[in-house]
Structure 1
Amino acid sequence: MLTINREEVGQAGIEARLRDVHGLVPLAGMQGKRAAVCLREPLDVLAAVQALRSADISVLLMHGDTPLAAASTAAADAGCELLLWGSLQDSRRIRPTAGVPEADDGRGGSEEPSLLQYSSGTTGGPKLIRRAWTDVDLEIAAYNDALGEAAECRPVVLAPVSHSYGLICGVLAAMKRGIAPSVVTNANPKFALKVIEETPAHLVYGVPLLFHVMTGLGGRFNRVISSGAPLPGPLFETLRARSAHVMQQYGCTEAGCISVARSMRAGSDLGELLGSWHLEGEAGQASKEEPAEIVVARGLDGRRIATGDLGYAEDGHLFYAARMDDVINVGGLKVFPLEVEERIAAFPGVKEAVVYRGVHPVMGESVRAKVVWSPSGAVGVPSPQGLADDLRAWCREGLPAYKVPASIDLVDSLPRTTTGKISRRYIEQTERGGH
């Protein structure tokens, strides 16, 4: 059981752990080079990141549960010469892989001290992304401005600080505002709810799966902010009934946080763009029925990022439709998984659903779904086939025929990445016998 409270995350706590970093980690001769941080304790992560940055060392941020062999390979492939793995007592020099390519920062040029991360790889192989710390500072300033009244709240961070959502938005941005957050690492949602209850003016940082679990336990909140995947419609409505304010933020590894919805209109509402980001291309003129790729550009330097997501703008807010690679083509007609998932999720007893691409001998592609179902709230306990038939009938009542799943499988859980995202690509590859 571990909760980092606001005193520990405060300046005194960080400074105490910084002394551990300087006493245990060999930083001599590392200026201008790269080091990987793969630590279990969140306070160690925060102190290591700060110490490495102040020494002009670029930081590769890795999930703390990564096995040593995998962490060593990933760090070497990223050109790192130092690996902090497990604990500060177990740091080690490593040899970078020969011919390591420069990490992509979208601009080229020589490397300044940076934050390095691998993209999630949900629709392709992981890609090494570099963001200069000066860019991260710009993101934090714009993010704090975008929070509005929520900037005065005490963050309770349930998202891991080994990812930029928890590290930058949950912790570093709060410390920049002069507020030390509570970082909860205990996996027990009841424990997290206790911390939330003890922090009245809170802003809870989480992902949809965590909020789904905690609302199922009767949790109530002051403010919540979600990221990582759009809030399913039924979960958004539940959170709105249990919270004074429901917020959502959107971003990507290449850009950091792009937008924040302070007052959400729907689960797909991504809010208003931060700072100098603006929409380019067709998304600004697109619609819910015909979304376009979300492409953002920054006025400061003209940097342009194609997100690979489909969306549209409406009354100054950005709305999410689907990942481009997730769109299902059924006989020339487009099916956006989110719309079908929301219809399935509204059926009594459905806990979670994922809609993905299947193979059809005539149509080319078909709509398939996997559903996690619980009898709680449902009438009777039908057979798996009976429930699948009921779900398809439910979909036919609310969706055009081409969007109704050709098959629905009942499962105990849905496959996810380390960030909690559902991996449609993994499901599709598994069913086709791929890897």
Structure 2
Amino acid sequence: MHRHVERHAAGRPEAPAVHVFSAGRWVGTDWLRLRDMAAGVSEHARRAYRTGAPVLLALDNSAESIAVFLGLTSASVDVLCLEADPSRGEMQQALARRIGAGASIGPAGGDSVLAYTDVMDTAKGPLEAPDRNPEILGMTSGSTGEPRIVRQNLANVERGGCIYRDTYGYTARDSLLGPIPIAHSFAMMGLLAGALVSGARMFTMPRFSVSAVHTAIDEGATVLLGTPMIYRILGMASRPMGHTSSLRALLSSGGPLPTDTRARAEHVFALPVREIYGSTEAGVIACQYDREEPWPAGGAGRIHPSTRWRLRPAGIAGVPAEAGWLHVRTATLFAGYLGGDDGLDANGLYDTGDLVSVDPRGDLTVLARKSSFINVGGRKVEPARVSGVLEACTAVAEAHVFGHEEDGEESVHAAVVLRAPHASVADVLAFCRERLAAYEVPHHVHVLSALPRTTLGKADLIAIKQACALSSAAGAGDGSGR
């Protein structure tokens, strides 16, 4: 990616590279300034980090944080990228110890943490390419269990940026708007790397803001990258864009896009939302893009041409014969988990854990996740099905269903947010019994004020389980008597 930065700095030095929303306005950094900041970090890193130990970098989506990332990797330093979050200081220190970090770097510095400015020497380029392919370490979302550290590499990140560029036609005339953390895979490849390889301008923000998104669109943003939660929030905004906007593409990743969320967003922006199906481990697996034929409802897009895949038979009653567990080898496949296995099967393919169907043309539909199935007395319960029934109940605003093992047996638990204080858990369970098999009805219903979520909008399973464990007896309903 460094050669692209050097190319833009030489050919378009004053063209905007990054605009960051700060103190209610957009602050710009041109390609020359970005290159020089990164070169300064590279010079510092080549002197200071010779041990081969990785560096923990908390990214706040600023131009300075991007320059630090580019500078460290230019010096061939392995980097663990995390989202900058002052409330998670202890967690970051624990991660730094776990990986044997040579340094920890963040926006303002602090206890055992260097500030971006502390590692940014004065330099005027060039920004050199790394001597080796440094590892880019990242965290899985934690939406299905304990987060793990994924071992990616810089070449894969750049390759991912090329996939986005080629699929969605990024050019230097584009402005990519990403109200999502750059530390996460979707933004790392689709926003940061995509902009660097194409020369597009980036609009970023330290934290999501509806007004910042609207002003970026007013400033000429052409491609919006968001998660389902972001599109849900933007879809509720009473500010239709219509044809006065320069937006030409809406990209969604980070989880399934609910039908109502899609409809609202498409109404507001007068554009179709294109879903991207992938993971931190694999990058892009399948995606939707502009084509004459409509995409099937509930589909995740067409498997990318660079993806090698196979389906392992599901072996579950009631599942169509043509469906199976998806194993893939993508152009951006990870190198395994830090301190763990490589995550691949005997054929060198990654088990996504997703039960999918694929039609003859390669259009993929996700049916369920293997890791989410709950084994109740030998019978499989699909949490998404139970959640769908719960959320169809007028008393329930949100629901998340998960399994919990006690005394060697799994049971179905549901965390719910009720629409009104007078809503009854008993009524919710009665609603479920009318629509679900007896073994599918939640054994326990935990009433929460809100569902804990990750920064990408996914349900945070660990936090949900903790919240449910803290629920009072009055807030938990027992559905076992059926």
Q: TM-score range by the shorter chain?
A: 0.7 to 0.9
Q: Which residue of 1 aligns with 2:161?
A: 140
Q: 2:65 aligns with which of 37, 40, 45?
A: 45
Q: Which deviates more from structure 2 when the two are superposed, residues 129-138 or residues 422-431?
A: 422-431
TM-score with structure 1 setting the length: 0.77
Contact 2:171 2:199 in 1 (8 A): no
Q: For 2:258 and 2:444, locate their aligned partners in 1 and report how far apart those are by CA, in whole Å.
A: 21
Deviations, residues 36-58 of structure 1 (Å, cap 9, x unaligned): 21143522221111111111112
Q: 1:209 maps to what in 2? A: 229
Match of 2:287 in 1: 260
Paired amino acid for 1:255: A
In structure 2, distance between residues paired with 1:299 and 1:133: 13
How far does residue 34 in structure 1 lie from its aligned partner after superposition? 2.1
- Work out which of the residue numbers 298, 301, 325 in structure 1 matches 2:371: 325
Superposed CA offset, 1:21-69 (max 9, x none): 358x554052554222114352222111111111111211112115444
Unmatched 5+ stretches in structure 2:
1-18, 116-131, 242-246, 334-346, 472-482
* Alignment size in residue pairs: 405
1:432 is displaced (CA, Å) by 5.8
1:285-338 deviations in whole A, cap 9, x for unaligned?
Answer: 999935533210248997421122332223522222333222123444323222
More contact order relative to length (CA 8 Å, sep ≥ 6): 2
Q: For 2:211 and 2:48, locate their aligned partners in 1 and report how far apart those are by CA, in whole Å.
A: 46
Q: Which of residues 252, 260, 265 is equivalent to 1:239? A: 265
Q: Secondary structure at the match of 2:274?
A: strand
Match of 2:192 in 1: 171
Q: Distance in 1 between matches of 2:467 and 2:451?
A: 13
Q: CA 1:204–1:372 in 2, change beyond 3 Å: closer, same or farther?
A: farther
Cα separation, 1, equivalents of 2:276 and 2:461: 21
Question: Is 2:407 the counterpart of 1:384?
Answer: no
Q: Structure 1's 330 and 125: CA in aligned 2 closer, same or farther, altered over 3 A?
A: closer
Letter in 2 for 1:342: G
Larger radius of gyration: 2
Provide structure 1 residue ranges, at least 5 long, that are not aligned to the other structure: 93-110, 375-380
* Equivalent residue for 1:91, pick from 114, 120, 128: 114
**Matched residue, 1:97:** none
Amino acid at match of 1:307: T
Residues 167, 398 of structure 1: alpha-carbon distance in 2 compared, 3 angstrom cutoff = same
Query: What is the Cα deviation at residue 265 of structure 1?
Result: 4.2
Question: Shift in Å at residue 391 of structure 1?
Answer: 7.7
Q: How does 1:326-405 map to 2 (within 5 A)?
A: 326-346=372-392, 351-357=397-403, 364-374=409-419, 383-385=422-424, 389=427, 393=431, 395=432, 402-405=439-442
Give the drift of 1:179. Answer: 1.0
Tell me the distance in 1 between the aligned counterparts of 2:395 and 2:174: 34
For residue 271 of structure 1, the aligned residue among 283, 301, 309 is: 301
Q: What is the CA–CA distance in structure 2 between the aligned matches of 1:300 and 1:83, rounded to whole Å?
A: 26
Could you tell me how far 1:245 is from its partner in structure 2? 1.2
| Counterpart amino acid of residue 206 in structure 2 | T
- What residue number does 2:21 align with? 3
On the 8 A contact 1:193/1:214 being kept in 2, the answer is no
Task: Indicate the residue corresponding to 2:252 in structure 1.
Answer: 226
What SS does the corresponding residue of 1:262 show, helix, strand or coil? Answer: coil
* Equivalent-residue separation in structure 1 for 2:405 and 2:383 (angstroms): 15
Aligned partner of 1:161 in structure 2 is: 182
Deviation at 1:13, TM superposition (A): 4.2
- Matched with 1:103 is none
- Following superposition of structure 1 onto structure 2, how do residues 121-136 of structure 1 map, counting pairs within 5 Å? 121-136=142-157
Displacement after TM superposition at 1:212 (Å): 1.8
Q: 1:147 to 1:405 in 2, by over 3 A?
A: farther
In 1: Cα distance, 2:107 partner to 2:71 partner: 17
> 1:210 offset after TM fit, Å?
2.1
Distance 1:224 1:150, change over 3 A: farther
Q: Which runs of 4+ in 1 moved over 6 A?
A: 4-7, 149-152, 283-288, 299-302
Equivalent residues of 2:180, 2:208 under 8 A apart? no
Q: Cα deviation per residue 1:381-417 (whole Å; 9 max; x = unaligned)?
A: 682217x626852x56665555444554443211223
Specify the alignment match of 1:250 in structure 2. 277
1:422 and 2:443 correspond: no
Counterpart selection for 1:30 from 30, 44, 49: 49
State the match for 1:101 in structure 2.
none
Whole-angstrom CA distance in 2 between matches of 1:217 and 1:248:
21
Inter-partner Cα distance in structure 1 for 2:435 and 2:172:
40
Please give the TM-score of this superposition, normalised by the length of structure 2. Answer: 0.70
Deviations 1:260-296 (A, max 9, x none): 2226846743212334212223279999935533210
Deviates more, 1:50-59 or 1:344-353: 344-353
- Whole-angstrom distance in 2 between the partners of 1:229 and 1:427: 17
What is the identity percentage for the equivalent residue pairs of Structure 1 and Structure 2?
Answer: 25
**In the alignment, residue 61 of structure 1 is paired with which amino acid?**
C
The whole-number CA distance in structure 2 between the counterparts of 1:156 and 1:73 is 32
- AA paired with 2:275? Q
Matched, 1:76 2:97: yes
How far residue 183 of structure 1 moved from its aligned partner, in angstroms, is 0.9
- Which deviates more from structure 2 when the two are superposed, residues 177-186 or residues 300-309? 300-309
* Matches of 2:439 and 2:388, distance apart in 1: 16
Contact 2:250 2:272 in 1 (8 A): yes
Q: Which moved more, 1:415-424 or 1:147-156?
A: 147-156
